[in-house]
Amino acid sequence: MNKKLGFLGFGTLFGFALSRVGASEYDLIVGMFVGEDYTLVGVIVTAIIVGTIGMQVLKKSKQRTISGEPLNISYKKLGPWSLLGAAIFGLGWGISGACPGTVLAQLGEGKLYGFFTFAGMIFGTYIYARLKEKHESL
């Protein structure tokens, strides 16, 4: 239970950080995509560097999952559907001004459009699961 509270606390801190740097602001995200504001590019590059270091530390550690199983980090192979999925994700990000992390920050800030983006993410996940049942190559 303490680990779960720790994850909740870390997630809350992460959402607060996203909010503080402006990652939940629609205009800032659109500005990044049209090349007018590079503030978020620095945030994304920093996140990639921190994530890469964190993954290397996890790989070398003897960490276990929440259920107690050994941590197994594996890479998912890119398939023919990866490009389509990436395009849909990018299109949704550009239109909504939110990715999965920032939409939760938007909800926490009480932004109504965050709710619609969140609903779209849930719907998209549902559609993917239905298609995955029919096409094992997804």
Residue 101's alpha-carbon distances to 31, 46, 85, 86, 137, in angstroms, are 18, 15, 17, 16, 27
pLDDT of residue 75: 80
pLDDT of residue 110: 92
Q: Considering the entire predicted model, what is its pTM?
A: 0.71
Q: What is the mean pLDDT of residues 47-67?
A: 86
Q: What is the mean pLDDT of residues 59-70?
A: 79
pLDDT over 80 at 66, yes or no? no
